[in-house]
Amino acid sequence: MLTSVLATGCGGPQSALDPAGPGAGIIAWLWWGMFAFFTLVLILVTGLWLYAMKRRAPEPDEQQATRLTNRWIIGGGIILPLLSITVLLAAGIPAGQYILTLPDDKRDPLRIDAHAHRWWWGFYYPESDITTGNRLVIPVDTPIDVYGHTNNVIHAFWVPRLGGKIDVVPGRVNKIRLRASKTGTLRGQCAEFCGTGHAHMVFEVEVLSQQAFKHWQERQQLPVKIQPQHTQAAEAFQTYCGDCHRVRGVSDGANGPDLSDIAGRRLSHMQSRQKKPLSIAQWLEKPHPRFATEPSPILAEINPQTLERIATWLETLEP
């Protein structure tokens, strides 16, 4: 059973065993090492027990029994765990130290502030003054410092293919250093239970080449392109939605996710039953019940035609 699953691979967009950066890579190695060693220990101990149950040797006298007991207890009960612990700590403490600092990279890390809301992630790039919602874009081979902020409950920031997680705690700012070693799309998810929307607190991580990242940053400074047929929709958006949502060059709301690149974002909570994502129009018509509380009062005020226009326009906002 185990092997059948292993055969299907350790892959997956959120698999800790398919590392895309040195932090996760080291942890994956630690795992495989411990897995191999501890499997041996488990087989050894269980095997010894089964053998001891089966074995029909003459009963030992008191002295033999005591000698044997002490041998088992000192060998298996003290030396074996002590040795294992020593080896583990000798590997684990330097590994932890390395992961925390990634010292082989002398460049200054890129700072990103992750704001955990209920239930979505906002990312802010202080150096370039960029904001994104549920979407973290980072350059490859560059150390990144993610600072976690929240003003509500405890969350945890976690991109398994890059490294471990860090809790995002009200009143504190915790930091985690990460680095990606290949380009591509990864998945991150809130790991600390934060209420009804916890399962949907997913974000996309896009690792770009350094060149592409620069371009992306530059593009983020420009207003979104609005094709002429959508100008009306954009105005309506500004009126009804702009207080909460930001779309570059259109509105500056900060209570909900930035929608400047909504079309490119894979919104997992839109597709609970259907395999393919709902269109934005479908979503607005029947919002996911978990998220209905916030947008619905406004939605009722917009006439259906306008709403559909807004949705169609949003579909064009490619990153």
Interaction residues for other proteins, span 158-177 (CB under 8 A): 158, 160-161, 163-167, 169-172, 174
# residues contacting other proteins (CB under 8 A) = 93
Interaction between residue 154 and other proteins (CB under 8 A)? yes
Choice between 1 and 300, CB closer to other proteins: 1
* Binds other proteins (CB under 8 A): choice among 132, 189, 251, 260: 189
29: left (phi over 0), alpha (psi -120 to 50) or beta: alpha
What does each C-alpha distance from 180 to 59, 186, 209, 240 come to in angstroms? 62, 10, 10, 39
Contact 250, 238 (CB under 8 A): yes
DSSP state of 73: I
State yes or no: residue 65 binds other proteins (CB under 8 A): yes
Answer yes or no whether residue 292 interacts with other proteins by CB under 8 A. Answer: no
Closer Cβ to other proteins, 23 or 257, answer by number = 23
- Taking CB under 8 A as the binding criterion, the range among 216-224, 231-239, 249-257, 267-275 that sits at the site for other proteins is 267-275
Q: What CA–CA distance (Å, rounded) separates 120 from 203?
A: 8
DSSP string, 140-203: TTS-EEEEEE-SSS-EEEE-TTT--EEEE-TT--EEEEE---S-EEEEEE--S--STTGGG-EE
- Smallest separation, CB 227 to other proteins (Å): 32
Which residue number, 198 or 219, has a Cβ lying nearer to other proteins? 198
Q: Report d(CA 166, CA 175) in Å as an integer.
A: 7
Q: Which residues pair with 165 in a beta bridge?
A: 158
Among 20, 22, 24, 251, binds other proteins (CB under 8 A): 24
CA distance linking residue 18 with residue 206, whole number of Å: 16
- Please report whether residue 30 would count as binding other proteins according to CB under 8 A: yes
Per CB under 8 A, 287 contacts other proteins: no
Cis ω for the linkage preceding 158 (within 30 of 0): no
d(CA 53, CA 57): 11
Report the residue number, 192 or 261, with the smaller CB distance to other proteins: 192
Asked whether position 76 contacts other proteins by CB under 8 A, the answer is yes
Does residue 102 touch other proteins according to CB under 8 A? no
103 touching other proteins, by CB under 8 A: no
Selected from 103, 127, 228, 275, the binder of other proteins by CB under 8 A is: 275
